[in-house]
Structure 1
Amino acid sequence: MNIGQAAAASGVSAKMIRYYESIGLMPKIVRTESGYRVYSEHDVHTLRFIRRARDLGFSVEQIADLVSLWQDRERASKDVKTIALEHVSVLERKIRELQEMASTLKHLARTCHGDGRPQCPILEELANDDATPAPAKPDAKFGALGKTSTR
């Protein structure tokens, strides 16, 4: 099948298929005498594997490791599990960071009057050079940013 058919069958765009081939995530694809790529069912299966791994947020490097392990019938499942659990840790950290950001923004939005006045605590906090780069956890006494609010 051609690249368009492989893209349709795998759910991976033709552009991404070419990219995966260029970085070695996909093996070099057989080409016709005129230079057109010809994909096998095995190639499409590999593309689906890659797409599912990307959907789970694995990095290209992790996917390369997973593809290699998938193709190695002598692999140890512990190697795959290690990659998966490391990725889970990264995802959980990102979730915590996003929750902290949402909490901070909710706090700032509650302190903003949202009326016609020009004063805006949200913009003031963004412009604050003394603000910490990472969002702070909410504190019942001091608010989400760890300081007393006068707004």
Structure 2
Amino acid sequence: MRIGELAHASGTPIETIRFYEREGLIPVPGRTEGNYRIYTQAHVERLCFIRQCRTLDMALDEVRVLLRFKDAPQEDCGEVNALLDEHIGHVAHRIRELQVLEGQLRVLRAECPSPHAAKDCGILQGIEVAAGEPGTVPARRHVRSSH
């Protein structure tokens, strides 16, 4: 199959397929006499595996490790387990960061409970104040402009 057919069969954009080829994540395809790349069902399966890893938010280096083990089915999978444990830890850390972010956004949202002139918007003012102090969202102010 040609690259367009591979893209359709695997749900992967052509540019991404070419990128994965350059990165060595998928094997170099054979060529026709007309010098067109010819892909196989193995390419489809490998791309689907890579896409699933990416759906699980795995970095390309993590995907490379998993592919190495997939290509060596007799190897012990202890490193795969360790990789996944580490990835779970990263995800848990990101969840905690996102929960903090959600709290900051809720505090900011509470600064402007109803629509009014943008010049008096507590959200815009809060963002402006926080821009002067990177990484912070100001505590709720007790004095607000009139709505």
Q: State the distance in 2 between where 1:86 and 1:7 align.
A: 31
Aligned length in residues: 141
Cα pair 1:6 1:44 within 8 Å, conserved = yes
Q: State the distance in 2 between where 1:76 and 1:134 align.
A: 46
Pair 115,45 (structure 1): closer, same or farther in 2 beyond 3 Å? same
Task: Work out whether 1:46 is the aligned partner of 2:46.
Answer: yes
Q: Normalized against structure 2, the TM-score is what?
A: 0.84
| 46-55 or 111-120, which deviates more | 111-120
Q: What's 1:35 paired with? A: 35
Q: What's 2:133 paired with? A: 131
Map 1:9-28 → 2, pairs under 5 A? 9-28=9-28
Pair 48,134 (structure 1): closer, same or farther in 2 beyond 3 Å? farther
**Hey, which of these two has a bigger chunk of helix by percent?**
2
Cα pair 2:6 2:44 within 8 Å, conserved = yes
Map 1:51-130 → 2, pairs under 5 A? 51-113=51-113, 114-116=115-117, 118-128=119-129
Map 1:138-149 → 2, pairs under 5 A? 145=138, 147=139, 149=141
Pair 32,71 (structure 1): closer, same or farther in 2 beyond 3 Å? same
Cα pair 2:107 2:140 within 8 Å, conserved = no
Cα pair 1:62 1:83 within 8 Å, conserved = yes
Structure 1: state its 5+ residue gaps: 136-144
Pair 90,68 (structure 1): closer, same or farther in 2 beyond 3 Å? same
| 70-79 or 123-132, which deviates more | 123-132
Pair 12,56 (structure 1): closer, same or farther in 2 beyond 3 Å? same
Structure 2: state its 5+ residue gaps: none
Q: State the distance in 2 between where 1:32 and 1:115 align.
A: 65
